[in-house]
């Protein structure tokens, strides 16, 4: 998995997407590219550049109270919130600042918030931040959770996405199918790579990959 290609986001030399072609299994699908966002999430320079690039997609007239970070995107989320604040994004909460939080996932796969942190969602306009979007399964769970806790989805931000919206909530991403037109996602029971006998290179999730 060391033979990856680096793709830079236009105009931002530190916004880097590392991709490897092959046969990869994710929690919701099989895909023909692995996108390694580990350094994007953990390396300060890349996380800051990514957060600031995502912030440029929002207007100062928009309202965001909370950034809900999925798949370890909290560091990027902090830089995103900082840049949005500098740009004049309005916050409706009483402290005139933004919350950056992550959900807890219970044994049923539902995203939940405890009594001491559900105020970060209740009555707030919530921006979901994630690394990559393929099937949208995790995002639908996040949207259900936000609405259950009486929040309002304000949008979705991602480093990479094959979709432009989910449940009428717009997705703004730095990379898309325009950058990788041959990217493909298949259901677990209908994968042409499996049918062709192509071995699986790695099992992947939001934390990284494990070779098989």
The CATH code of the domain that includes 193 is: 3.40.50.2020
Q: What are the tens digits of pLDDT across the range 148-169?
A: 999 999 999 999 999 999 999 9
Given a contact cutoff of 8 angstroms between Cβ atoms, the answer to whether 26 and 133 are in contact is no
Low-confidence residues of the chain: pLDDT under 50: none
Distances in Å between the Cα of 43 and the Cα atoms of 46, 51, 96, 114 are 6, 12, 28, 30
Give the pLDDT confidence score for residue 117 in this predicted structure: 95
pTM greater than 0.85: yes
Count: domains in the chain: 1
Q: What is the rounded distance in angstroms from the CA atom of residue 122 to the CA atom of residue 128?
A: 15
Structural domain containing residue 190: 5-211
Could you give the CA distance from residue 42 to residue 188 in angstroms, rounded to a whole number?
A: 30
User: Residue 2: what pLDDT?
Assistant: 60
Amino acid 4: pLDDT: 83
From CA 120, how far away is CA 111, in angstroms rounded? 14
């Amino acid at each position: 998995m060391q033979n990856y290609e680096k793709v830079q986001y236009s105009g931002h030399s530190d916004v880097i997407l590392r991709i490897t072609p092959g046969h990869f299994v994710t929690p919701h699908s099989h895909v023909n590219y692995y996108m390694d966002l580990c350094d994007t999430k953990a390396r300060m320079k890349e996380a800051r550049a990514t957060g600031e690039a995502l912030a440029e997609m929002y207007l100062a007239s928009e309202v965001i109270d909370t950034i809900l970070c999925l798949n370890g995107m909290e560091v990027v989320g902090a830089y995103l919130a900082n840049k949005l604040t500098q740009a004049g994004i309005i916050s409706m909460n009483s402290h005139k600042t933004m919350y950056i939080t992550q959900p807890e996932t219970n044994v049923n796969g539902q995203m939940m918030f405890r009594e001491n942190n559900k105020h970060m969602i209740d009555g707030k306009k919530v921006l979901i931040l994630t690394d990559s979007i393929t099937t949208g399964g995790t995002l639908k769970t996040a949207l259900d959770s936000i609405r259950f806790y009486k929040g309002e989805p304000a949008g979705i931000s991602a480093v990479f996405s094959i979709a432009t919206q989910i449940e009428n909530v717009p997705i703004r991403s730095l990379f898309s199918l325009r950058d990788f037109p041959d990217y493909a996602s298949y259901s677990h029971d209908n994968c042409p790579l499996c049918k062709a006998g192509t071995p699986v290179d790695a099992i992947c999730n939001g934390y990284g990959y494990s070779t098989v």
